[in-house]
Chains A and B, each alone.
Chain A
């Protein structure tokens, strides 16, 4: 009985050094874990990672303005397809675990399979962009800083009315700006 009491006392009153060491280990361990976690997540945001499954679509962007342009600023896949806000990003990354299954069973592992699924994939992204008011566009293209005096007449006509009033969002008109389009029959505003 006495032994137990001594043992208990040792547990309930640890030495200051031990408590400090434990806290320190926890702190350093936390930093290491967090760093590794974020680095791992950023690795899944690179173009190389995306193209390991979506190769045909990654080459398509090369002829568009989001790849080659006058000023050399460019967007990569994750800039538009992964939310920038941390909590939204985690949600999207968890959803992506379903895409790992698609990868395992080879849903789009040939160009033909990919073409057949292009419409499905595109519609899903358009729906997502519509729901979050084209947030991924707006991460770079901020409406508040658009200068209508240097836009083309056609751009001003749309941006100063439908976009300004919130009636339309970017993706309503700007579909296929970085990819080739799927069959657009029945899509609003097309043909």
Chain B
């Protein structure tokens, strides 16, 4: 019984000390540089998660984007949610292929898509050009993070 009482008393005596230690500990951590990173997207500390940006919307339909440089893969000026692009089906080609573009009025894929790496022209889209989204991407309505004064060459303006 006596030992128990002593133990309890000791513990009670130690409690404030422990609390104090914890306090100074947290104060120290607050003073330490926690490796925060300041960038164009704002300041982020390592020990906290920055609020994610709101989702950007892809415009439903718009006129084609002007090319910024020669041989730029044209950008996709419309939404492509759930357009299947797999070994089974290629939704893009149901409008943009040579066969379908006349009726759909969509931009026709270039003849370069029919050539293999060695320059051999095939009767259909070359497998290396089949996955459209490797080069062609839709655009969101986002403000550029930095000012960009890039100007396309005269012939593309």
Contact = CB atoms under 8 A, between A and B. Distances in A.
Interface size class of B (residues with CB under 8 A): 20 to 34
Interface of B: 60-61, 78-79, 81-82, 84, 86-90, 93-94, 97, 99-100, 105, 124-125
A189 B89 CA distance: 11
A82 B9 CA distance: 76
Contact of A152 (B78, B88, B94, B105): B78
Contacts, number: 44
Interface of A, helix, strand, loop or mixed by DSSP: loop
A176 B89 contact: yes
Given A181-B86, A183-B88, A190-B89, 11 more contacts: A64-B82, A152-B78, A157-B105, A180-B86, A180-B88, A183-B87, A189-B100, A190-B94, A191-B89, A191-B97, A191-B125
Given A63-B82, A65-B82, A190-B93, A152 B61 contact: yes
A152 B61 CA distance: 6
22 contacts: A64-B82, A152-B60, A152-B61, A154-B78, A176-B84, A176-B89, A177-B82, A180-B86, A180-B88, A181-B84, A181-B86, A182-B89, A183-B88, A183-B89, A184-B88, A184-B89, A184-B90, A189-B100, A190-B89, A190-B93, A191-B99, A191-B124
A191 B84 contact: no
